Amino acid sequence: MQRTKIDIQKVLPNEGQIEGLPRNPRLIKGEKFRKLCRSIQSLPEMTEARDILVYPYQGNYVVIGGNMRLQAYKHLGWKEVPCCVLPEDMPVDRLRQMLIQDNNPFGENDWDALANEWDSKELDDWGFDVWQEPQKEKKAQPAKEQQGETGTEKPDFFAAMLGDRIFDSDNEYDIPNLLIDRQPTSGLLLPFAGWGADTRAKKGISTYHFYVEDYRFTNIWNHPDTVLDSGCTELVEPNLSLFDTTPIAYGLQQIYMKRWIARFWQECGAKVYADLNVARKFYDYNRLGIPEGYNAFATRGYADREEYLKQEIGIARQISGLDKPNMIVYGGGEKIRELCLQNNVLYVEQFMANRVKQIKKGGENG
């Protein structure tokens, strides 16, 4: 094999032109393609160290490994690309094997290491998919649990619930209504943890909240049953970030998504706290789908936003019709704790954040 730089016009993407060799089975487009281009621009040394694998073909060279990089190089206006040229007498079956192995993602990510030891924004900027739900392992079950009396396999309840589904709504945007008989009634069921802040789908957590970075849980829209697989029975609605700069149209989509997921969880038997942690411009929109008389709320406390919390407590009082609503406030420090005491709502310490601070200081107290 020969390493050399080749005129980019002579390097062709694999589109099935070689007899017996299918076209490249992977695609890249949209934001992922833009991230690849930015990655190449920011780290050219990586390009010099990674040749495109090519095969001589009718005076040109067909890419066997590196089709997406070639696409990016052309977009960026490159004139030459570093290549490794395969022998012309290489059998097609070997080319097929190389093509697949180049695209085969061997190994798996250590999501805990990524979450705790790497910066999520940097990973995202570098084009790394910062969150994926873990692959579910099929567990062997006793025959009586797996099969009915007739010996046929029972349908999966979650699978039956998933799919295109519209829930009842009392608003013009079709944002689903929460079920008033599927809400926590009093007190916080422990253990309480942030989704993705510890081992994914960790068993033994009774209540999960989503006051963590969005990347840890955005895939729940595609797989909302993953959270229920953990065995938890009570949940705070997903807190999809909504800022004052977020367009109203996009914000409505975020509210629809979190309320649809919450209603799905309720239909599957879980009890749900309605999330009130949104920017002020979305306060009214965020009430859509929360029925009057609902009395289970959650929000996140911020040391420099006491007025926000006061307004959110007021919203909980309005919806529930009670002066002492069933509401939990996650984190925020001593001032937020005092405010919660004054307003008869439950303050919950930000356990994970404290744990990380202690580790950075050189260890945890027993």
* Residue 238 near residue 272 (C-beta atoms within 8 A): no
Total domains, the chain: 2
CA distance 68 to 312: 48
Look at residue 126 and tell me if it is in a domain: no
pTM above 0.95, yes or no: no
What are residue 192's DSSP bridge partners?
Answer: 207
pLDDT, tens digit, for every residue of 49-67?
778 899 999 999 999 888 8
Look at residue 95 and tell me if it is in a domain: yes
Shared domain check, 336 and 265: yes
In the structure, what pLDDT confidence band is assigned to residue 28 with cuts at 50, 70 and 90? Answer: confident
Sequence-ordered list of residues with C-beta below 8 angstroms from that of 198, at least 6 positions apart, any chain: 112, 205, 352
Look at residue 74 and tell me if it is in a domain: yes
CA distance 255 to 59: 56
CA distance 96 to 229: 39
Identify the domain boundary among 103, 138, 165: 103
Identify the domain boundary among 69, 103, 137: 103
The residue segments making up the domain with residue 271 are 152-360
What are residue 54's DSSP bridge partners?
Answer: 63, 85
**Orientation of helix 67-75 relative to helix 30-42, angle to 10°:** 80
Identify the domain boundary among 68, 103, 138: 103
Shared domain check, 321 and 173: yes
pLDDT for the residue 201: 47
CA distance 356 to 184: 29
Residue 324 sits at the vertex; the CA angle it makes with 319 and 329, to the nearest 5 degrees, is: 85
pLDDT for the residue 119: 65
Look at residue 337 and tell me if it is in a domain: yes
Shared domain check, 177 and 93: no
Shared domain check, 167 and 41: no
Q: Say which DSSP state 164 is in.
A: S
Shared domain check, 99 and 159: no
Closest CA relative to residue 300, chosen from 286, 312, 288, 318: 312
Look at residue 142 and tell me if it is in a domain: no
Look at residue 271 and tell me if it is in a domain: yes
Question: Of 150 and 121, which is predicted with more confidence?
Answer: 121
CA distances from 291 to 166, 252, 309, 340, 362 (A): 17, 17, 21, 24, 48
Continuous segment of H or E residues that includes residue 2 = strand 2-7
What are residue 193's DSSP bridge partners?
Answer: 208
Lowest mean pLDDT among 221-225, 239-243, 258-262, 351-355: 351-355
Shared domain check, 200 and 325: yes
Shared domain check, 349 and 263: yes
Shared domain check, 97 and 210: no
What are residue 282's DSSP bridge partners?
Answer: none
Look at residue 250 and tell me if it is in a domain: yes
Average pLDDT, the chain: 81
Q: Name the token pair of 200.
A: 């994914």
Shared domain check, 91 and 164: no
CATH number of the domain within which 46 lies? 3.90.1530.10
Closest CA relative to residue 130, chosen from 150, 148, 153, 113: 113
357 has a pLDDT exceeding 60: no
Continuous segment of H or E residues that includes residue 271 = strand 271-275
